[in-house]
Amino acid sequence: MPRKTEMWIIGVFVAVVVIGTIAAAVLSGGNTTASTQFVATTVPALTAVDWTRGAAVSSVSVIEYGDFQCPACGAYEPIVEQLTKDYGSKVTFAFRNYPLYQVHQDAMISAQAAEAAGLQGKYWEMHDLLYTKQAEWSVEPTATVVAKYFDGYAKTIGLNVAKFDTDISASTVKAKIQKDLASGNDAKVDHTPTFFVNLAQIPNPQSYADFKTVIDSALTASAQ
């Protein structure tokens, strides 16, 4: 085989392996350094300060610890949205902040944006927009991302933008994020997204069907 052809084949093989590794990282939560030995941990029960949607009262809860700038969280978001639509009358879905600010420059400020929108009753609207438009704003430096993108999102969902700009740096907003982070750290969260069903951590499902199986099992167990 000609040397040039041989090197081309090797190059294609390496590219395929790299792409496969990245895909596996996304499906496993975007953290290739996390331990392969899964150990379930638990988190505190939902309270009135948690952002929830779906069933107001239910026997099954799904809590996500996520980062708005995390690509893996963005990849999982359509699955979570579909589950919320399909199980909204039976299951309570919640989102807790776990911004990986050490590696994502806008992780913290985007969490603050969602919490600030929540002070005007539009948490989930901002949550959804941040994920839908993740590729747009996540390349922007922290110093300019609010004025360039988040203010526009705030206006789109009907917020008082001046109040939003004030609230985004409010101590109450930052305290809420730190509380979420602390509970995640106590549960040894080491990647995003991390999911808890009925307060117990689960391995990240690989598909909608896998996640549905977990929820169905929890619903069946709760009915017994």
φ, ψ at 201 (rounded to 5°): -65, 145
pLDDT exceeds 80 at position 1 = no
Across residues 141-153, what is the average pLDDT? Answer: 98
pLDDT exceeds 90 at position 108 = yes
- Amino acid 39: pLDDT: 87
- Amino acid 21: pLDDT: 33
- Amino acid 6: pLDDT: 38
- Amino acid 36: pLDDT: 62
pLDDT exceeds 60 at position 187 = yes
- Amino acid 25: pLDDT: 39
Place of tokens 């969280």: 73
Between 175 and 9, the higher pLDDT residue: 175
pLDDT one-digit tens code per residue, 33-86: 344 678 899 999 999 999 999 999 999 999 999 999 999 999 999 999 999 999
Bridge partners of residue 66, in order along the sequence: 97
Per the CB < 8 A criterion, the answer to whether 43 and 63 are in contact is yes
The H or E element spanning position 178 is: helix 171-186
What kind of fold does domain 51-223 have according to CATH? Glutaredoxin (3.40.30)
pLDDT one-digit tens code per residue, 114-131: 999 999 999 999 999 999
Domain extents in the chain:
51-223
DSSP 8-state secondary structure symbol assigned to residue 72: H
Mean pLDDT of the chain: 88
Residue percentage of the chain with pLDDT more than 70: 84
Instruction: Give the integer Cα–Cα distance in Å for 75 and 136.
Output: 15
- Give the global pTM: 0.84
Inter-CA distances, 106 with 23, 139, 143, 144, 158, Å: 23, 8, 9, 10, 23
Across residues 87-114, what is the average pLDDT? Answer: 98
